[in-house]
Amino acid sequence: MLSAELRDADPEAAWPSAVDMRNRLIHGYFDLNPDRIWDTIAA
């Protein structure tokens, strides 16, 4: 879980996308899309 302090430090960050990506990676889903991973990192 991301702290409120971290989220508040950059309110324009795509936090929901980052959290969703973390969940997909950690839980071992097999339909990962490398382009979507890059888009999330580059955002």
Q: How far is CA 6 from CA 2, 24, 29, 30, 36, in A?
A: 7, 21, 27, 29, 23
**What residues make up the domain containing 12?**
4-42
What is the predicted pLDDT for the residue at 11?
Answer: 92
Say yes or no to pLDDT of 8 above 90. Answer: yes
Tokens of 13: 């960050």
What is the predicted pLDDT for the residue at 9?
Answer: 95
pTM: 0.53
Say yes or no to pLDDT of 1 above 80. Answer: no
Render pLDDT for 9-41 as a digit per residue (tens, 0 to 9).
999 988 888 888 788 788 876 777 889 888 878
Q: How many domains does the chain have?
A: 1
What is the predicted pLDDT for the residue at 10?
Answer: 92
Q: Is the dihedral of CA 17, 37, 40, 36 positive or negative?
A: negative
